[in-house]
Structure 1
């Protein structure tokens, strides 16, 4: 299960990442986040080399605001620090797999 950390990395650090990475915004108590876990966990498990940062989001949290997060969970898929794709409240695994393929192909 994804555990959302209250500690947030700096946006500049995420912008400076090399290769693929995934940032997930949500909370441990969010029902939508818990429901989406059945799609998120197995998709990410197939890409163990892709770094994942799960960030607790909420009012006044600057990282989520910098990515314009409105709903949870929001998955931001980065390649070399640039957003390539985004999945909001996944309702199936296919959209996550597609976004992972977009950041890992040729990586």
Structure 2
């Protein structure tokens, strides 16, 4: 699943996220957030190297339980998951390499280094 330009119409539940198989990049933010908009090319660039990594883009804000359950305070917050477990986090990334490294760390948790999710 490549880079997703749009937020999900409805956020998944925490239980659904915890049950995700493989490697996932979970992105929290909003469409109107300037920091989020500036990070989009970085996220897209980083994900281009990992075509099998799922990307879930979740709109966050007051009353949004999923973001609170992950302790999200600033946007964008990117969380690299391996089998539903947080492995790495990037808050307001400034370079695609930060995101790439987080994804690589999540993949390495499974002992897979060839880009497989």
* TM-score, normalised by the number of residues in structure 1: 0.93
The answer to whether structure 1 residue 102 and structure 2 residue 86 are counterparts is no
The answer to whether structure 1 residue 40 and structure 2 residue 43 are counterparts is yes
Q: Which runs of 4+ in 1 moved over 3 A?
A: none
Q: CA RMSD in A?
A: 1.2
Q: Give deviations 1:21-69, integer Å, cap 9, x for gaps.
A: 1110001111000111121111112212111110000000000000010
Structure 2, unaligned runs of 5 or more: 113-117
SS of the residue aligned with 2:7? coil
The answer to whether structure 1 residue 70 and structure 2 residue 96 are counterparts is no
- For 1:57, which of 35, 57, 60 is the aligned residue? 60
* TM-score, normalised by the number of residues in structure 2: 0.86
